[in-house]
């Protein structure tokens, strides 16, 4: 796993990608580390899948092959695609993206983007990761891909590529 020290000295796009990967790894590690011995990982979740990325060992498989609604999995894919934009230099954490009325009116979990305002991509990314902000996802999709549907197409294409 990447050390926090190496993240601090990494250029911004790579830094953002590494921070996201470290955050995901820490979430998975937290679920595993809470249970010594790894043999008896328990969760109240209906579905869960945890692997050790260094060995490929499956640590927990609870209904991993069942079809379930995407819920926040779509936000993970959104984040993945954003990090790809950053890695390729197609976006910067300092980019200011416009807030449409559609994004502002989006229901569910929100980060409460300002109608007609502009929000820094870095803040929107936090809004997606921390607040699970549906409005932030729409602002990002429209700002980076031109429309929500174009961004969804990019996510689906990337999902096909990674299997």
Catalytic residues: 72, 75, 132
Report the distance separating Cα 102 and Cα 59, nearest Å.
41
Whether the Cβ atoms of residue 34 and residue 44 lie closer than 8 Å to each other: no
What does the H/E/C string look like for the chain? CCCHHHHHCCCHHHHHHHHHHHHHHHHHHHHHHCCCCCCCCCCCCCCEEEECCCCCCEEEEECCCCCCCCCCHHHHHHHHHHHHHHHCCCCCCCCEEECCHHHHHCCCCCCCCCCCCEEEHHHHHHHHHCCCCHHHHHHHHHHHHCCHHHHHHHHHHHHHHHC
Q: How many other CB atoms sit within 10 Å of the CB of residue 114?
A: 9
Whether the Cβ atoms of residue 141 and residue 103 lie closer than 8 Å to each other: no
């Amino acid at each position: 796993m990447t050390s926090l020290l190496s993240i601090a000295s990494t250029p911004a796009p790579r830094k953002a990608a590494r921070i996201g990967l470290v955050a995901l790894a820490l979430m998975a590690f937290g679920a595993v580390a809470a249970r010594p011995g790894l043999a008896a990982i328990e969760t109240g979740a209906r579905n869960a899948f945890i692997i050790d990325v260094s060995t490929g060992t499956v640590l927990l498989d609870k209904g991993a092959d069942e079809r379930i609604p995407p819920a926040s999995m779509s936000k993970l894919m959104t984040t993945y695609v954003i990090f790809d934009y950053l890695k390729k230099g197609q976006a910067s954490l300092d980019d200011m993206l416009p807030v449409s009325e559609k994004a502002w009116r989006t229901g569910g979990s929100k980060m409460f983007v300002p109608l007609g305002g502009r929000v820094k991509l870095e803040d929107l990314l936090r809004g997606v990761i921390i607040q699970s902000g549906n409005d932030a996802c729409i602002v990002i999709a429209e700002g980076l891909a031109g429309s929500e549907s174009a961004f969804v197409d990019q996510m689906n294409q990337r999902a096909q590529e990674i299997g």
